[in-house]
C-alpha cells in the first residue's frame, strides 16, 4: 500500500505542542490519546498480523523508542531507542466471552482504554480480538498522541493493511537485532567521546537545544526591531499583530460566549468511559451538504447538535447552545506520524429551529471559526509558554477549560475502497477520541462509503449514553430526510 512508500516522521524531540500534551497527561483526567476499534469480517491470522506489525514497527522508530525527559523544563522531551523493547509486551490476543455481541466488544474496548500506557516504554498497544458473534473479529489499538495525530495514525495503519484479502505478508524482520543496533548507535552518540553519558549527556543535549531555540527567537526579534528605524509604522503594526495573535490564542480554548459549565445537565466529570456507535452513509452526508452549500463536517456537527438538543429536551432541560470544538489539520506533507492540527472551538446552536436552518447556521459558524483560527493563535501559539508553567498550574487550567466543553469532535477520512488486514476485511472503524475532561469525544471515520461515528462518553456527564446515541442516530435520519426531501 501507499504507506510502504511514505516518508516517516522522525523528529528527535517532541514539538512544543506534543510536549504540552505529554505534560498535562500527568493528570490522568487529561489523557490526550485516542484509541480505535477496527471491525473485521473475521479474526486476523495472528502469525500474519504479527509479521505485518513487526515490519511496520521496524520502519517507524518511535514505535521502539521511549521518551527521555529533558533537563528540567528547559527543553522538550526527546526520543531514544528502548534497550528493553519487547514486541510481545505491546501485542495481545483476547477472545470474547459468549455471546460475543457488539455491546460486549465495546465494553472491552472501553476497559482496555482505561489501562494507562507505561510512560517508560514505547507508547503503543494492540489487541487482536476473536469470539465476536457471526465469526467476526476486531483489532483494538492505541498509539499515544505524542507519536501521531489521527491522520498520521491512519497512514501508519497503511503499513499493516492491504488492498486484497490474500496479499502476501511482508518478509520477516529481525526487529530485535534492528533495535539492538539502534540502542548501540544511540549509546555511542550519547557518549560523545569524552563527555560520558547519562546525566551529562542529557544536560549537554538540553543546553544545545535550549540555545538553538532561544537564538532563533532572539534572531527573529532582532531582525524585526532593526527595521523599525526605517519604518516607524512597522513597530505599531507589529504590536497590533501581536495583540491579535494573543487575543485569538486566548479564545482558542473555548468558543466565544461559552458559559462557565456548558450544559448544566452534563456538568459532572469522571474518568469512566462508555463507547457507543452510529453509522451513516457518506453519500447522504455529501448530498445533504451540497443541497445547502455546507461541508460534510457541517452536516456531521448538525446531526450531533440536534441529537444533543433532543437528549436535553427529553430530560426537560432545554438549552440554547452547546460548547464544542472540531479539529482542523494543518498538515502540508504525506508523512507517517507527527502532529499537525488545530482545535477550533465553536458554540453550536441548540435552540428550536428546523434542521435545515440549524445546518445553515452551523455552516456559517464553522467558516467564521476557521477564519479566526487561521490568524495564528490557538494552542500552537501558546504551547511553548505553557510548557514553562508549573505542572499543577497547567493541569488545573486545562481541566477547567475541558470541563466547559460539552463534547469535542473530529472527522477523519480513510480510503473510499475496501481494505484488509491479515486475511480479514475491515468492515468499519470506531474511534475512541480523547475525552480528556470533556463530556464526550465524538470522532467519525469514513471508509468505503460508510461514516462510522464513535461516541466516547463520560457516563458521569452523559448519564444515558445509549439514549444519547439513539437521539443522534434519529437526528441524522431526520436531517437527511428533511434536506434531501426538500431538494427533490
> How remote is the C-alpha of 397 from its chain's centroid?
20
Any idea what the Cα angle at residue 68 is, between residues 391 and 126, rounded to 5°? 95
Q: Please check whether residue 199 is in contact with residue 206, taking contact to mean a CB–CB distance below 8 angstroms.
A: no
- pLDDT tens string 149-195: 999 999 999 999 999 999 998 999 999 999 999 999 998 887 664 33
Contact of 326 with 366, CB cutoff 8 Å: yes
Question: What confidence category does residue 237 fall into, taking pLDDT thresholds of 50, 70 and 90?
Answer: very low
Which of 277, 268, 229 lies closest to 451 in space, CA to CA?
277
Closest C-alpha to 124, from 66, 207, 79, 205: 66
Kindly report the number of other CB atoms within 10 A of residue 472's CB atom. 24
CA 461 – CA 270 distance, rounded (Å): 8
Question: For residue range 246-301, what is the model confidence (pLDDT) as tens digits?
Answer: 333 334 455 555 555 579 999 999 999 999 999 999 999 999 999 999 999 999 99
Q: Which residues lie across from 202 on neighbouring strands? A: none
Q: pTM (2 decimals)?
A: 0.86
Rounded mean pLDDT, 455-461: 98
Q: Cβ distance 463 to 274 under 8 Å?
A: no
Q: Residue 260 has what pLDDT?
A: 52
Whole-angstrom distance, CA of residue 130 vs CA of residue 388: 46
User: Which residue has cell 465524538?
Assistant: 442
State pLDDT tens for residues 463-476. Answer: 999 999 999 999 99
Amino acid at each position: 500500500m501507499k504507506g510502504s512508500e511514505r516518508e516517516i516522521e522522525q523528529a528527535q524531540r517532541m514539538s512544543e505542542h506534543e510536549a504540552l500534551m505529554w505534560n498535562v497527561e500527568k493528570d490522568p483526567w487529561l489523557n490526550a490519546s485516542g484509541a480505535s476499534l477496527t471491525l473485521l469480517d473475521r479474526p486476523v491470522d495472528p502469525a500474519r498480523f504479527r509479521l505485518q506489525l513487526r515490519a511496520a514497527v521496524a520502519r517507524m522508530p518511535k514505535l521502539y523508542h521511549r521518551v527521555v525527559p529533558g533537563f528540567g523544563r528547559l527543553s522538550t522531551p526527546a526520543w531514544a531507542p528502548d534497550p528493553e523493547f519487547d514486541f510481545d509486551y505491546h501485542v495481545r490476543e483476547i477472545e470474547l466471552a459468549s455471546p460475543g455481541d457488539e455491546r460486549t466488544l465495546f465494553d472491552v474496548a472501553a476497559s482496555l482504554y482505561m489501562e494507562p500506557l507505561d510512560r517508560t516504554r514505547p507508547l503503543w498497544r494492540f489487541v487482536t480480538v476473536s469470539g465476536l458473534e457471526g465469526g467476526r473479529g476486531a483489532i483494538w489499538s492505541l498509539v499515544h498522541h505524542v507519536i501521531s495525530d489521527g491522520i498520521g495514525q491512519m497512514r501508519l495503519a497503511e503499513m499493516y493493511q492491504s488492498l486484497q484479502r490474500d496479499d502476501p505478508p511482508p518478509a520477516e524482520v529481525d526487529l530485535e537485532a534492528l533495535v539492538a543496533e539502534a540502542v548501540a548507535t544511540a549509546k555511542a552518540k550519547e557518549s560523545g567521546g569524552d563527555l560520558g553519558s547519562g546525566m551529562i549527556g542529557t544536560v549537554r543535549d538540553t543546553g544545545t537545544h535550549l540555545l538553538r531555540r532561544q537564538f532563533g527567537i532572539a534572531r527573529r526579534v532582532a531582525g524585526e526591531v532593526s527595521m523599525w528605524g526605517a519604518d516607524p509604522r512597522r513597530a505599531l503594526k507589529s504590536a497590533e499583530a501581536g495583540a491579535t495573535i494573543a487575543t485569538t490564542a486566548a479564545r482558542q480554548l473555548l468558543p466565544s460566549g461559552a458559559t462557565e459549565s456548558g450544559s448544566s445537565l452534563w456538568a459532572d466529570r469522571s474518568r469512566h468511559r462508555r463507547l457507543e456507535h452510529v453509522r451513516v452513509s457518506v453519500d447522504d452526508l455529501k448530498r445533504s451538504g451540497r443541497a445547502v452549500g455546507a461541508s460534510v463536517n457541517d452536516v456531521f456537527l448538525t446531526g450531533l447538535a440536534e441529537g444533543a438538543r433532543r437528549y436535553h429536551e427529553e430530560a426537560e432541560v432545554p438549552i440554547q447552545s452547546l460548547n464544542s470544538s472540531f479539529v482542523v489539520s494543518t498538515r502540508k506533507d504525506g508523512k507517517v506520524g507527527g502532529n499537525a492540527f488545530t482545535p477550533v472551538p465553536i458554540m453550536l446552536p441548540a435552540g428550536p429551529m428546523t434542521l435545515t436552518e440549524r445546518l445553515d447556521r452551523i455552516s456559517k459558524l464553522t467558516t467564521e471559526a476557521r477564519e479566526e483560527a487561521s490568524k495564528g493563535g490557538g494552542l500552537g501559539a501558546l504551547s511553548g509558554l505553557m510548557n514553562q508553567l508549573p505542572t499543577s498550574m497547567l493541569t488545573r487550567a486545562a481541566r477547567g477549560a475541558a470541563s466547559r466543553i460539552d463534547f469535542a469532535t473530529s472527522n477523519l477520512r480513510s480510503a473510499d475502497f475496501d481494505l484488509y488486514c491479515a486475511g480479514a476485511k475491515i468492515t468499519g472503524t470506531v474511534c475512541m477520541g480523547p475525552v480528556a475532561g470533556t463530556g464526550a469525544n465524538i470522532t467519525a471515520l469514513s471508509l468505503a462509503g460508510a461514516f462510522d461515528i464513535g461516541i466516547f462518553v463520560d457516563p458521569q456527564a452523559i448519564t444515558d449514553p445509549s439514549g444519547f446515541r439513539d437521539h443522534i442516530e434519529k437526528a441524522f435520519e431526520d436531517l437527511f430526510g428533511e434536506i434531501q426531501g426538500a431538494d427533490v
